[in-house]
Amino acid sequence: MASFPARRAVLRAAALAAAAPAISALPFARATAATSGSVAAVAAVAGLAAPSAWAVRPFALKDVALGAGVFAEKRSLMLDHGRGYDVDRLLQVFRANAGLSTRGAVAPGGWEGLDGEANGNLRGHYTGHFLTMLSQAYGSTGDKVYADKIRYMVGALEEAREALRSDPVVLSVPGRFATAAENVRGSYQYVDLPNTVLGGSASITLSAWVKPTHDANWTRIFDFGDNNTRYLYLAARNAGGAPRFAITTGGAGREQGINGTGPLPLNKWSHVAVTITESTGTLYVNGSAVAKNTAMTLNPATLGTLKNNWLGRSNYPDPVFAGAFGGFDIWSRALTAAEIAELQDKTAAESSAGAGDLASYTFAETSGGTFADHSGHGRHATLRRTWGGPSHPGFLAAYPETQFIDLESRTSPDYTKVWAPYYTAHKILRGLLDAYLNTDDERALDLASGMCDWMYSRLSKLPESTLQRMWGIFSSGEFGGLVEAICDLHTINGKAEHLALARLFDLDKLIDACVAGDDILDGLHANQHIPILTGLLRLYDETGEERYFKAAKNFWDMVVPTRMYSIGGTSTAEFWKAAGSIAGTLSDTNAETCCAYNMLKLSRMLFFHEQDPKYMDYYERALYNQVLGSKQDKADAEKPLVTYFIGLKPGHVRDYTPKQGTTCCEGTGMESATKYQDSVYFQKADSSALYVNLYSPSTLTWEEKGVTVTQQTDYPQKQQTRITVRGKTARFDLHLRVPSWAGDGFEVRINGDKAPGTPEPGRYFTVSRTWRDGDTVRVAVPFRVHVEKALDDSGVQSLHYGPVNLVARDPRTTYLQLGFYRKAALSGDLLPSLTPVEGKPLHFTLDGVEFAPFAEGTEDPTHVYFKRSEPQIIFGGLDSGVANPARTDGTTLLDEIWSAAPFKSKRALLKRVEDTTAAWVSAGLLTAEDARKVVSTAKAASYES
């Protein structure tokens, strides 16, 4: 590829220095009043590696190489999918919308196609996701196959935009005799004939060669009329699938019709003709009369001159005809049966009837948008789009601008009419930006800039009240992470209009509530709102307005932990319930995968501003559990095999191919699986420190310091990591995350010597030194088995081993009743109560039930939550013979005893047992004799430390 100007190289180098595509880890310079709108000025300050508000910044995907392990294995499956998938299938909807050849490709289907849910009104979104996935794959691996696909897709999108900016042009294809004109399904194209085409004739013959490519009912071969009251038409298929001719002056209820007896075959040429003379109308199919109506009182003369004279379009809101026209003729008389039969083997002009004397079109044109009339009357026809056109400058989508126009007047949700057009625009824009940043393809930047120019031209003219109404409409007004992407583009091109555009998406009701700390999330569409907050963070970076940052920060606390499930996910059937509702919301439709994707993004971006370890604790939870577990451990060339919802009710089986595999969650799932390494390491803005956030096998190339940092680990299978620093001598602080779930035993050794200081759970442990080539850091991260209680029902719990959510694999669809105190260790670790499965790391059994990591992408029925049941008081495997009593709130005697763990010694445990049983005796909850038995058993038992 040709080299680019120095300006471009500087911009890209600065952007990639901290870019993790689709996560907005883009290190962009803030555009000031002096630089706004000036690309050259932005280039001059583009050396700023991150927004000034960021205290830390991420590394580019190319700078962090994944080592062998679960992340590399999952990524490999997605890389193979990206490598092998035919991207012409994704481009099909864009090409069809633009009236271009779709090259025989079939759209993926589901949400990415013309059929399926909501009439395919989200089509185009999946293409954007795929571009981002390919960009991340290329950024991570440098494999040229991904770059080649990106450039091919960008080129096709550029062609589609150009076609949308022009009048429609004939798509010439082989015809029945010579050439034909195809209307690609999804192109919204039809042929407009002059209003004199019927000539006022009382007797008439209308003849057409057609090749239908879709079986939608009521698509018109022709429809001549004023409206849906006065017309005559020939439908390719009626409600029964057969051709139908009808004429009326009183609407559908007064049609005089003729119905065929069988369907026209798809993808084959058929000849259809209608004759009317006196009171008889006859319908012919392939040269044979298939039906007659001998009681007709209407003919074209009675209708008079009609306003709309169309091939392929209906005067009703019926689908546009999809297929090809190989010839269309109109005669001012009824041809004989013999003349109709002759048309099977000859063109009209070559037949004894001759070309139609009222109108005759051969569709022999191979360019332009006009079809010549060969009748001698000069009634030439024009190719048009139902939605008008050309489109406005910069517009790019896989459906017409009408989706956006409709939203501007819409007051209520109806995704069958309008389904999140700005959300779809976000996915396309994000994909183009990622393509630009990873391949240097200037065409992608031009397409992205054009989209934002177009959006600004529309939205900047709308009243504030209209914008607030639009963005508050469920689903239809959803705009995803569009603000974030627009801000990222603004920092590249410095256009003031683009920053102004980003602010037009402010949803004040949400922002104001979050700033005030008012939790209004109950009942809201979860993933419609989470990415709004990532956009606000980027707006804060660009504008310095504190309300944007405060809103995002307070919002995060409304989700974590009060609406967070044990795997890190959130939402039920896409919506939030009241804060604290966990056990009461478990169903088949919990934890929409997009929500986890966007909560990770939000957590990451908040950490850039404030290094609160809680954000990375959450990141680890959601990444190691829901995100990993959302990808099936199976290869598939056609589908990404990613979940939409993850059901958390007992016995749920994950569905890795919902809705044909083209939902929002398959899209974000593809992205997640190609950027697992994006948050393993961060660096302080001044490069004086390195944050190790995740213990993941990987190698960081830290160019600023001239070093590589390599982690060798089997984490989480093994509870340790070895970090090796190679390269130049360099001074920096090493911040090692001590997970909040970590107990005693977290240890750091530098070149074999224990590092000074005491690691604290939920903090970062810092090693400050001058690092030399070959220095090693060994980190021990001991796991323990512990439970987490549902906020609304302490008896409903989930099981965790360090960061790993262990789930029971069992086909029962009712809660499993499980107890864990029987062999609890003095530390409070419940691991001794479980039996490891030989040869299967992180697998255990209890009472005949196998537990496995949630991250394993299998189709086994799983139990993420269970009912805690400790009917007997048991210590170290010894049964006291005493039933475990409970208070009215459900807290049992054993709960109260073990809540004081860890115990430094057996003596400390016994003291707790004695004090607790005495208190329960005094409260009348335990007899003195039973208390004696409990204490005696506790003394006799042996415990692991």
CA separation (Å) from 861 to 79, 585, 589, 641, 810? 27, 19, 15, 17, 6
Nearest CA-CA partner of 110 in 437, 419, 426? 419
- 410 within a domain of the structure (yes/no): yes
Q: Which of 631, 737, 721 is nearest to 67 (CA)?
A: 721
Per-residue model confidence (pLDDT) at position 177: 95
pLDDT of residue 43: 29
DSSP characters over 850-882: EEEETTS-----EES-EEE---EEEETTEEEEE
Where in the sequence is the domain holding 232, given as residue range(s)? Answer: 172-385
By the 10 Å C-beta count (0-12 exposed, 13-18 middle, 19+ buried), 40 is classed as exposed
Regarding whether 489 and 506 lie in a shared domain, the answer is yes
* CA–CA separation, 631 and 649 (whole Å): 19
Show which of 367, 385, 403 is a domain's final residue: 385
Q: Which of 385, 415, 445 is the last residue of a domain?
A: 385
In this model, does residue 17 exceed pLDDT 50? no
For residues 311 and 340, membership in a common domain is answered with: yes
Rounded to whole angstroms, how far apart are CA atoms 731 and 135?
Answer: 33
Query: What integer best gives the mean pLDDT of the chain?
Result: 93
Check residue 114 and give its pLDDT.
Answer: 87
Gap between the Cα atoms of 12 and 121, Å rounded: 34
Same structural domain, 509 and 412: yes
Looking up tokens 């005693």 gives: 744
Same domain, 462 and 599: yes
CB atoms within 10 A of CB 161: 23
Do 94 and 178 fall within a single domain? no
Answer whether residue 163 is part of any domain. no
The CB-based long-range contact list for 723-728 (8 Å cut-off, 24+ gap) reads 723/692, 723/776, 723/777, 723/778, 723/779, 724/774, 724/775, 724/776, 724/777, 725/771, 725/772, 725/773, 725/774, 725/775, 725/776, 725/777, 726/773, 726/774, 727/773, 728/773
146 lies in the same domain as 224: no
Residue 945 domain-assigned? no
> Is it the case that residue 35 has pLDDT exceeding 60?
no
Question: In which band, very low, low, confident or very high, does the pLDDT at 296 lie, cut at 50, 70 and 90?
Answer: very high
Average of pLDDT values for 416-423? 96
User: Both 588 and 490 in a single domain?
Assistant: yes
pLDDT of residue 40: 29
| Domain identity same for 843 and 695 | no
Other Cβ atoms less than 10 A from the Cβ of 728: the count is 11
For the residues of 324-348, what is the DSSP string, one character each? EEEEEEEESS---HHHHHHTTTS-G
pTM of the predicted structure, to 2 decimals: 0.93
* Token digits of residue 310: 């169309």
* pLDDT tens readout for residues 494-535: 999 999 999 999 999 999 999 999 999 999 999 999 999 999
Rounded Cα gap, residues 278 and 877, in angstroms: 100
Q: What residues are paired with 464 via a beta bridge?
A: none
Question: What is the C-alpha R_g of the chain?
Answer: 34
Would you say residue 164 lies in a domain?
A: no
Q: Name the least confident of 104-118, 331-345, 837-851.
A: 104-118
How many domains would you assign to the chain? Answer: 4
Model pLDDT for residues 52-72, shown as the tens digit of each residue? 889 999 999 999 999 999 999
Sign of CA dihedral 144, 147, 148, 149: positive
Both tokens assigned to 189: 């194209």
Using one digit for the tens of pLDDT, what is the confidence trace for 839-878?
Answer: 999 999 999 999 999 999 999 999 999 999 999 999 999 9
Band of the pLDDT at 659, cuts 50, 70, 90?
Answer: confident
Same-domain pairing of 733 and 851: no
Residue 679 lies in a domain: no
Let me know if 743 is exposed, middle or buried by CB neighbors in 10 A (0-12, 13-18, 19+).
Answer: middle
| pLDDT for 16 beyond 50 | no
User: In this predicted structure, what is the pLDDT of residue 254?
Assistant: 97
CATH of the domain at 418: 1.50.10
In terms of domains, do 615 and 474 share one?
Answer: yes
Say if 339 falls within a structural domain: yes
What is the pLDDT, as a whole number, of residue 6? 33
Would you say residue 601 lies in a domain?
A: yes
Q: Check which CATH number belongs to the domain holding 759 and give it.
A: 2.60.40
One domain, residues 766 and 790? no
Q: Which helix (H) or strand (E) holds 492?
A: helix 482-493
Q: By the 8 A CB rule, do 725 and 690 touch?
A: no
pLDDT at 433: 97
Q: Is residue 166 part of a domain?
A: no
Are 232 and 125 found together in one domain? no
Residue 180 belongs to domain with CATH number: 2.60.120.200
Among 355, 385, 415, which residue terminates a domain?
Answer: 385
Whole-angstrom Cα distance, residue 846 to residue 835? Answer: 7
Residues 6+ apart with CB under 8 A from 831: 783, 784, 785, 801, 825
Q: What span, in angstroms and rounded, lies between the C-alpha atoms of 933 and 519?
A: 49
Angle at alpha carbon of residue 897, lines to 893 and 903, rounded to 5° = 165
Residue 396, pLDDT > 80, answer: yes
pLDDT at 11 over 70: no
Tens of pLDDT, residue by residue over 157-210, are 999 999 999 999 999 999 999 999 999 999 999 999 999 999 999 999 999 999
